Amino acid sequence: MKTKEFNLTCPIPISQYPNVLLAHGGGGTLMHNLIEKMFMPEFNANEQKIMHDSAELLLDNKRLAFTTDSYVVNPLFFPGGDIGSLSIHGTVNDLSMSGAKPLYLSAGFIIEEGLQMETLWKIVQSMKMAAEISGIKIVTGDTKVVDKGKGDGIFINTAGIGVIEHNLNINPASVKLGDTIIINGDIGRHGIAIMAVREGLEFETSIESDSAPLNDIVMKLINAGIKIHCMRDLTRGGLSSALVEIAQSAKVGINIVEKDILVREDVKGACEILGFDPLYIANEGRFVTFLPEQEVKKALDIISSDKNFSEACIIGKVTEKNPGLVTMKSAIGATRIVDMLSGEQLPRIC
Amino acid sequence: MKYIDEYRDAEAAKRYFIAITELITKPWTIMEICGGQTHSIVKFGIDEMLPPEITLVHGPGCPVCVTPVELINKAIEIASKPDVIFCSFGDMLRVPGTDKDLLSIKASGGDVRIVYSPMDALSLARKYPDKEVVFFAVGFETTAPANAMAVFQAKEQAIKNFSILVSHVLVPPAMEALLSSPHNLVQGFLAAGHVCTVMGLEEYFPIAKKYNVPIVVTGFEPLDILQGIYMCIKQLEEGRTDVENQYTRSVRQEGNRPAQELIKKVFKVVNRKWRGVGEISRSGLGLQDYFIEYDAERKFNVSNIVGEESPECIAGLILQGLKKPHECSAFGTKCTPEKPLGAPMVSTEGACAAYYRYRKI
Amino acid sequence: MCLAIPGKIMSISGNEPFQKIGKVNFGGIIKEVNLVYVPEAKVDDYVIVHVGFAISTLDESEANRVFEYLKEMDELGELDQGDAEN
């Protein structure tokens, strides 16, 4: 039996990056390159070769969605959530982005020796509550403990399976010229909530992470017959990275309008002080939807009827101009390119 | 946000653009000194909407960009030592030295931390008495009061495990060096509003007089810059060469006297090397002898470390306003924010970074 | 590194000359700021803050200058009103 030739050439140039950097997990160009050049080719990723939030599989003619995500957020507890609730919501949301109904999750724990049992209990309770709210079952898992100093409290991986019961192809390949882009609320809250704890920032009214499950609202849209072309939940790299990925995948131009993108005053204030751009800040309960113009009003009515997403609005359009690029009309009227995040603005954000 | 949002008003901006267009009768070349101004200009697309007669040239006012390679190498040497906590503003971490940057030292286990203020570094020194805490004191005059206070308090409180690696530069000598160059094309200046908030306007009168250039001190929001450009063009069209203050809500003629006093107490004027430009006489700040124990270069004995620029990086020409970022052969190809060849591509205020991020379509 | 932001002083503490610290509100986010370089600053004043230090008090009477200048241009006929309305 012939053994396959083993390729010894590392696709990420060692002369440039001999060590893994934090930015390789930042949601921006470095991470993108790592996945595209090292993981995808080696792991023979799904045949569609379109990078999307979950992989669609055909099992006995049933369309399933399958995804995985790891959670390394620091600090473990923050206003509006914790690593536990994040690990459930994040994976549920990835499944929802193809319009799948999330069913089952696995939970893998890598725990640092010395973590307080009380802390672990709180996290487990939080996961239980998040699972109940989302309507999913955690059916399997794994636990490892590493030496003190070799972990950071706890890391969690969740993998999820959902079933696709509609006929739409909700992914970047379905994006069409003239599509309108809507979002379910303001941006930047999760990243700033995390920063607040890490940096000891004080706010007049505490900023809470927007971490929330999106499966319910997505199901409402699908059951109402909305012809969704594409959805993407915004995590690391923020709104910009999500839109740039879609523009590049779908080979379309995207134009957004700065004054239409909602950012809370205190999030804006934090960004001004810290020198961050809200467009690149992580979110955990926000998603963008690409859909035909005639579906927009109905979709916005449905989304904004949920009290958590009352500020749903239009932020832009898919255009013929500048395919593969995202452009933004600035506050004073000039148009500029919105690029993918380079490096990482905030490490260990989700 | 109050005192920010109002200065981003689209209607008022439009009126300034129209006013500038109606005022101008011939081509003029203006330089904005500060990286913060460059950032604002490119981010809001101001340069795109100005009439073609105006050429905006981006100046050397990005302290990260002008920090010489050997200083990065010195920082790397210090940060690599055990028991050192090396603190810096975020931007400095990715500025390339001769073959490495501070971020790679962090990745291989060095204790390199991003801080928001030099006082944070001083707090770390108090918190970890058995570590040596070093702060990378990079900046123009705007940051000097903060760095002066950190050193002053360290001395007052006899904190011995603290030091600063000084890379302070001064604006007026840089302007003079630019203006006395035979290649200079700049006819008017937008001076840096926060530098002048600290130092006042007095140093600029002799420059305006000696070189016959109008100098308008501006703020950083779009309307500040637009009003500043209008005032500068008006002077040029009328043949005046005065120092004017657009940023009156923050800048006073005399500047901030308490800040100037402490700067004088802690620092003295020294010669400094500017990356890509070379040494400019009396263009920087160094510690006074009384505070010399806080000088990291001496403490860690790294004064002899040298460094070479990347041969492809034209940072010097960019910083002097003689070339624009997209005119560099490496721009966007060999040199990107992920793998920068020089500092202007790394700093949030660097011209190359601004052009790359907010590039025109 | 000229990033400096205006914020409103909510409270001031510290009597020693170098210990004057203020809690400053930047659009809802509150940070402690060293007020040593603005001895004249009081609660409710706006200050311009750079790396944790206030470097000036914002002169609110000058804050509208940018807009008054436009008005002056109108009055002097330096700005064509017809074009402005397009």
Task: Please report the ipTM that was assigned to this predicted complex.
Answer: 0.90
Interchain CB contact of C86 with A (< 8 Å): no
Please name the chains neighbouring B, where neighbouring means 3+ C-beta pairs under 8 angstroms: A, C
Write the residue in A202, A205, A272 that is nearest to C5 by C-beta: A272
Interchain CB contact of B357 with A (< 8 Å): yes
Same structural domain for residues A223 and A280?
A: yes
Chain B residues close to A269, C-beta within 8 Å: 1
Contact C29 A264 (CB under 8 A): no
Interchain CB contact of B228 with C (< 8 Å): no
Domain B67-169+257-299, CATH among 1.10.540.10, 3.40.50.2000, 3.40.50.11740, 3.20.20.150 = 3.40.50.11740
Contact pairs from chain A to chain B, CB under 8 Å: 74
Distance CA B4, CA B17 (A): 19
- pLDDT confidence of C78, banded at 50, 70, 90? low
pLDDT, tens only, B272-305? 988 877 899 999 999 999 999 999 999 999 988 8
Interchain CB contact of B289 with A (< 8 Å): no
- Does the residue A330 lie in any domain? yes
Q: Give pLDDT, residue B25.
A: 96
Q: Which distant-in-sequence residues (6+ apart) come within 8 Å of C61 by Cβ?
A: none
Residue B69 carries which side chain, given as an amino acid letter? V
The CATH number of the domain holding residue A246 is 3.90.650.10
The tens place of each residue's pLDDT in chain A, 350 residues long, gives: 333 344 456 666 555 676 677 677 777 887 777 777 776 666 654 455 555 677 777 777 889 999 999 999 989 999 999 999 999 999 999 999 989 999 999 999 999 888 888 888 899 989 999 999 999 988 888 888 888 888 889 999 999 999 999 999 999 999 999 999 999 999 999 999 998 888 777 777 788 999 999 999 999 999 999 999 999 999 888 999 999 999 999 999 999 999 999 999 889 888 887 778 899 999 999 999 999 999 999 999 999 999 999 999 999 999 999 899 999 998 888 888 888 776 655 445 55
Chosen from B93, B108, B357 to mutate, greatest number of chain A CBs within 10 A? B357
Write the residue in C2, C52, C83 that is nearest to B119 by C-beta: C52
Q: What is the 3-state secondary structure of chain A?
A: CCCCCCCCCCCCCCCCCCCCCHHHHCCCHHHHHHHHHHHHHHHCCCCCCCCCCCEEEEECCEEEEEEEEEECCCCCEECCEEHHHHHHHHHHHHHHCCCCEEEEEEEEEEEECCCCHHHHHHHHHHHHHHHHHHCCEEEEEEEEEECCCCCCCEEEEEEEEEEECCCCCCCHHHCCCCCEEEECCCCCHHHHHHHHHHHCCEECCCCCCCCCCCHHHHHHHHHCCCCCCEEEECCCCHHHHHHHHHHHHHCCEEEEEHHHCCCCHHHHHHHHHHCCCHHHCCCCCCEEEEECHHHHHHHHHHHHCCHHHCCCEEEEEEECCCCCCEEEECCCCCEEEECCCCCCCCCCCC
Contact C27 A269 (CB under 8 A): yes
- Does the residue A127 lie in any domain? yes
Tell me the nearest-neighbour CA distance from A264 into chain C, angstroms. Answer: 9
Query: Which residue among A148, A164, A180 closes a domain?
Result: A164
Interchain CB contact of A348 with C (< 8 Å): no
Q: Which distant-in-sequence residues (6+ apart) come within 8 Å of B228 by Cβ?
A: B190, B216, B217, B218, B219, B246, B247
Average pLDDT, chain B: 91
Same structural domain for residues A183 and A295?
A: yes
In this structure, the number of other CB atoms found within 10 A of the CB of residue A85 comes to 27
Chain C residues close to A202, C-beta within 8 Å: 23, 29-31
Chosen from A332, A338, A340 to mutate, greatest number of chain B CBs within 10 A? A332
The CATH number of the domain holding residue C65 is 2.30.30.140
CA torsion angle for A56, A59, A62, A63 (degrees, to 10)? 0
Our count of domains for chain C comes to 1
Chain A residues close to C31, C-beta within 8 Å: 201-202, 273
Chain B residues close to C32, C-beta within 8 Å: none
Distance CA B275, CA B278 (A): 6
Interchain CB contact of B13 with C (< 8 Å): no
- Does the residue A347 lie in any domain? no
Six token digits for residue C79: 């700005």
Contact B1 C27 (CB under 8 A): yes
Element (H, E) at C84: helix C81-84
Contact B116 C52 (CB under 8 A): yes
B124 near B133, Cβ under 8 Å? yes
Q: Give pLDDT, residue A3.
A: 36
Contact A201 C29 (CB under 8 A): yes
Chain B residues close to A29, C-beta within 8 Å: 338
Same structural domain for residues A152 and A211?
A: no
Residues 201 through 220 of chain A touching chain C, CB cutoff 8 Å: 201-205
Distance CA A23, CA A347 (A): 8
Interchain CB contact of A298 with C (< 8 Å): no
Average pLDDT over residues B48-68: 88
Q: Which distant-in-sequence residues (6+ apart) come within 8 Å of A118 by Cβ?
A: none
Write the residue in B23, B139, B156 that is nearest to C1 by C-beta: B139
Chain B CA closest to residue A19 = B107
Distance CA B149, CA A294 (A): 61
Tell me which residue has tokens 């399958």: A66
Domain span at residue A307 reads 172-338
Distance CA A107, CA A124 (A): 10
Average pLDDT over residues C74-83: 62
pLDDT, tens only, B26-54? 999 999 999 889 888 988 889 888 999 99
- Does the residue A14 lie in any domain? yes
pLDDT, tens only, B203-228? 999 999 999 999 999 999 999 999 99
pLDDT, tens only, B341-356? 887 887 766 788 878 8
Distance CA B95, CA B103 (A): 9
Interchain CB contact of B237 with C (< 8 Å): no
Contact C28 A205 (CB under 8 A): yes
Chosen from A186, A206, A273 to mutate, greatest number of chain C CBs within 10 A? A273
Q: Could you tell me the sign of the dihedral formed by the alpha carbons of C42, B34, C63, B244, in that order?
A: positive
Q: Give pLDDT, residue B105.
A: 92
- Does the residue A350 lie in any domain? no
Contact C2 B35 (CB under 8 A): yes
Contact C1 B91 (CB under 8 A): yes
Distance CA B162, CA B85 (A): 10
CA A13 from centre of chain: 27
Q: Give pLDDT, residue A200.
A: 73
pLDDT at C82 over 60: no
Residues 267 through 296 of chain A touching chain C, CB cutoff 8 Å: 268-270, 272-273, 275
Q: Give pLDDT, residue A65.
A: 93
Q: What is the DSSP letter of C19?
A: G
Distance CA C48, CA A103 (A): 53
Distance CA A193, CA A199 (A): 10
Residues 31 through 70 of chain C touching chain B, CB cutoff 8 Å: 34, 36-39, 46, 48, 50-53, 55-56, 58-60, 62-63, 65-67, 69-70
Least confident of B169-178, B239-248, B318-327, C6-15: B318-327
Chain A residues close to B103, C-beta within 8 Å: 21
Q: Which distant-in-sequence residues (6+ apart) come within 8 Å of A302 by Cβ?
A: A217, A220, A221, A224, A226
Interchain CB contact of A198 with B (< 8 Å): no
User: The sheet that has A62-71: what strands, in order across it?
Assistant: A55-59, A62-71, A154-164, A101-112, A137-146
Nearest to B50 by CA among B191, B225, B184: B225
Q: Give pLDDT, residue B120.
A: 92
Q: Give pLDDT, residue A4.
A: 39
Same structural domain for residues A79 and A185?
A: no
Contact A336 B116 (CB under 8 A): no
Domain span at residue C28 reads 5-84
Our count of domains for chain A comes to 3
Q: Give pLDDT, residue B149.
A: 97
Tell me the nearest-neighbour CA distance from C18 into chain A, angstroms. Answer: 23
In this structure, the number of other CB atoms found within 10 A of the CB of residue B242 comes to 15
Please name the chains neighbouring A, where neighbouring means 3+ C-beta pairs under 8 angstroms: B, C
Distance CA B84, CA B78 (A): 7
Write the residue in C5, C30, C49 that is nearest to A203 by C-beta: C30
Interchain CB contact of A58 with B (< 8 Å): no
Q: What phi and psi values does residue B300 have, to the nearest 5 degrees?
A: -100, 5
Write the residue in B44, B48, B339 that is nearest to A331 by C-beta: B44
